[in-house]
Amino acid sequence: MTSKSVIICGGGIVGLSCAYYLARDGWSVTVVERNAEGADSCAQGSAGYVSPSHVVPLAAPGMVWNGLKWMLSSKSPFYIKPRLDADLLRWGWLFARSCTREHTVRAAPVLRDLSLTGRRLFVELAALTANAFELRQEGLLNLCKTQQCLDHESHGLARLANELGVEARVLDARQTAELEPGARMDVAGSVYFPVDAHITPRKFMPALVTLLGQMGVTFQWNTSVNGWRVEGGRVGAVSTTSGELRADEFVLAAGSWSPDMTRGLGIRLPLQAGKGYSLTIPKPRFKLTKSLILTERRVAATPMGDQLRFGGTMEISGINDRIRPERVQQIIDAVPVYFPDFTPADFAGIKPWFGLRPVTPDGLPYIGRFGRHPNLTAACGHAMLGVTMAPSTGLLVSEILGGRKPSIPLELLTPDRYA
Ligand SMILES: Cc1cc2nc3c(=O)[nH]c(=O)nc-3n(C[C@H](O)[C@H](O)[C@H](O)COP(=O)(O)OP(=O)(O)OC[C@H]3O[C@@H](n4cnc5c(N)ncnc54)[C@H](O)[C@@H]3O)c2cc1C
């Protein structure tokens, strides 16, 4: 146990998870969040997957070619809006460098360990909160419309996952239908990952805030971090719109805003915001039990209580709140291809939500101390896996600050890897 103090900069799912594991270790924890309690954050409208099946990093072989092809179409699943920006050019160059088989081989076991640990910790958190956030341990189906896609998934993702000890079963159309009897699907088959799970993120965030309040965590809502006081190489205080706050340790958990937050510290963290959209149908025409991926279209579908959420697309277009209708339409158009009973009318009147995923060039998060300021620890850059990995990131941060051996090796995750 410790009586030392820590300030967590950013109160998204990752910051709150860090707060939980640090408070559990006896730290005096303050979370500084520029938004009000209960405000939207990236996890809230996400697909809510807790997905050890996602063992392939975003920066994977073939992505450079696909990326270049997709760049030309704002309707593609992965869209980089061309712009002359030094940070984007550097990020793009580092991303291209990571799209190798060697990188996948090194990164996949780390992603697996972060995700499996995250899943285990979600089970513990569900037990602590009477499952207030609807954790469902039903697995995930990667639906393939065509046999070609199914063959590709079987030889690629399913094989890699099985090699890494994450069970993947290749199913034909009949076996797929047996796993989701409530929905009529037009698919060639699927890959089933029994270990995957999902949550309702809009219920998870308030449940965690309540738990943290009971543990004595202090919240500074409506408070923006806008600078730092550095004393002899260490961070002495963070400057905020509510004044200067001192602590022994600081955690950077500002998602897509993390590079902005560190600018005054002489740190240049390569990270781009990856916009994604979701649409939540309050009364869907059928009930699913599992989370699904419409593989060819890269669209996610998740049952959340009585609701059904569809989400997807990755748009690297900077930090802005512009909703591109053509990208939302791409999600709507994909659904009837796999579920013939659905029509675009099912989405009438539903307001699209967007969130900004914090995307690193190599598809691995930044977790670890900064060499330049050793009492500042990074917990950001989780891209498409920030829900899945939030608890394991929190646990790792508590191990780092507590001086314990990290339960997952940190070498590939260091925030100094591009310094
Ligand atoms: C469509 C979509 C679907 C997704 N689906 C999944 C999924 O199924 N499974 C999964 O694992 N992940 C998923 N993700 C990714 C996941 O949602 C993110 O990786 C995760 O939410 C990032 O959390 P974070 O806490 O790092 O960042 P954020 O949630 O962005 O939190 C950062 C916080 O820092 C605050 N902040 C920023 N600047 C300042 C400042 N100067 N001062 C104070 N506070 C500040 C912000 O207000 C914000 O609250 C999805 C994302 C999208 C967009």
- Give the nearest ligand 1 atom to 49 CA: 8
List beta partners, residue 252. Answer: 9, 378
Q: Does residue 124 lie within any of the structural domains? A: no
Residue ID of nearest Cα to ligand 1 atom 4: 46
Together in a domain, 27 and 54: no
Q: Spell 20-56 as b/e; 16+ CB within 10 A means b.
A: bbbbebebbbbbbbbeeeeeebbbbbbbbbbbbbbbb
Q: Does residue 106 lie within any of the structural domains? A: no
Q: Does residue 348 lie within any of the structural domains? A: yes
pLDDT in tens, 237-253: 999 999 999 999 999 99
Q: Distance from the CA of 390 to the center of ligand 1, in angstroms? A: 10
Q: Distance from the CA of 341 to the center of ligand 1, in angstroms? A: 33
346 lines ligand 1 (CB under 6 A): no
Together in a domain, 265 and 341: no
Q: Give the per-residue pLDDT at 83.
A: 86
SS3 track for the chain: CCCCEEEEECCCHHHHHHHHHHHHCCCEEEEECCCCCCCCCCCCCCCCEECCCCCCCCCCCCHHHHHHHHHCCCCCCEEECCCCCHHHHHHHHHHHHHCCHHHHHHHHHHHHHHHHHHHHHHHHHHHHCCCCCCCECCCEEEEECCHHHHHHHHHHHHHHHHHCCCCCEEEEHHHHHHHCCCCCCCCCEEEEECCCEECCHHHHHHHHHHHHHHCCCEEECCCCEEEEEEECCEEEEEEECCEEEECCEEEECCHHHHHHHHHHHCCCCCCEEEEEEEEEECCCCCCCCCEEEEHHHCEEEEEECCEEEEEEEEEECCCCCCCCHHHHHHHHHHHHHHCCCCCHHHHCCCCCEEEEEEECCCCCCEEEECCCCCCEEEEECCHHHHHHHHHHHHHHHHHHHCCCCCCCCCHHHCCCCCC
What CATH number does the domain containing 313 carry? 3.30.9.10
pLDDT in tens, 173-188: 999 999 999 999 999 9
366 lines ligand 1 (CB under 6 A): no
Q: Give the per-residue pLDDT at 81.
A: 84
Together in a domain, 320 and 372: no
Q: Distance from the CA of 223 to the center of ligand 1, in angstroms? A: 17
Together in a domain, 280 and 384: no
Together in a domain, 160 and 249: no
Q: Does residue 255 lie within any of the structural domains? A: yes
Together in a domain, 24 and 76: no
Q: Can you give the residue range of the structural domain that contains 217?
A: 5-43+203-269+363-413
Q: Does residue 388 lie within any of the structural domains? A: yes
254 lines ligand 1 (CB under 6 A): yes
- Range 189-196 average pLDDT: 98
- Give the nearest ligand 1 atom to 354 CA: 53
Q: Distance from the CA of 44 to the center of ligand 1, in angstroms? A: 8
Domain termination site, one of 359, 380, 402: 359
Together in a domain, 370 and 223: yes
42 lines ligand 1 (CB under 6 A): yes
Together in a domain, 187 and 53: yes
pLDDT at 3 over 80: no
15 lines ligand 1 (CB under 6 A): yes
pLDDT in tens, 25-72: 999 999 999 999 999 999 999 999 999 999 988 888 887 777 777 766
355 lines ligand 1 (CB under 6 A): yes
Domain termination site, one of 340, 359, 378: 359
In contact, 69 and 34? CB cutoff 8 Å? no
Residue ID of nearest Cα to ligand 1 atom 3: 46
Q: Distance from the CA of 173 to the center of ligand 1, in angstroms? A: 35
Residue ID of nearest Cα to ligand 1 atom 37: 254
Amino acid at 82: P
Q: Does residue 307 lie within any of the structural domains? A: yes
Q: How many domains does the chain have?
A: 2
- Give the nearest ligand 1 atom to 15 CA: 25
What is the torsional sign of CA 107, 113, 116, 118?
A: negative
**Residue 340: pLDDT band by 50, 70, 90 thresholds?**
very high
Q: Distance from the CA of 99 to the center of ligand 1, in angstroms? A: 24
Together in a domain, 74 and 155: yes
335 lines ligand 1 (CB under 6 A): no
Q: Give the per-residue pLDDT at 60.
A: 84
311 lines ligand 1 (CB under 6 A): yes
294 lines ligand 1 (CB under 6 A): no
What is the torsional sign of CA 357, 361, 362, 364?
A: negative
Q: Distance from the CA of 115 to the center of ligand 1, in angstroms? A: 16
pLDDT in tens, 272-323: 999 999 999 999 988 899 999 999 999 999 999 999 999 999 999 999 999 9
368 lines ligand 1 (CB under 6 A): no
Together in a domain, 260 and 213: yes
Together in a domain, 154 and 290: yes
pTM above 0.85, yes or no: yes
- Distances, alpha carbon 40 to alpha carbons 31, 35, 45, 232, 242, in Å: 16, 8, 8, 37, 21
Q: Give the per-residue pLDDT at 72.
A: 66
Q: Give the per-residue pLDDT at 57.
A: 87
**Residue 2: pLDDT band by 50, 70, 90 thresholds?**
low
Domain termination site, one of 359, 374, 392: 359
pLDDT in tens, 68-119: 777 667 677 788 888 889 999 999 999 999 999 999 999 999 999 999 999 9
43 lines ligand 1 (CB under 6 A): yes
Together in a domain, 223 and 321: no
pLDDT at 1 over 60: no
Q: Does residue 88 lie within any of the structural domains? A: yes
- Give the nearest ligand 1 atom to 16 CA: 25
Q: Does residue 112 lie within any of the structural domains? A: no
67 lines ligand 1 (CB under 6 A): no
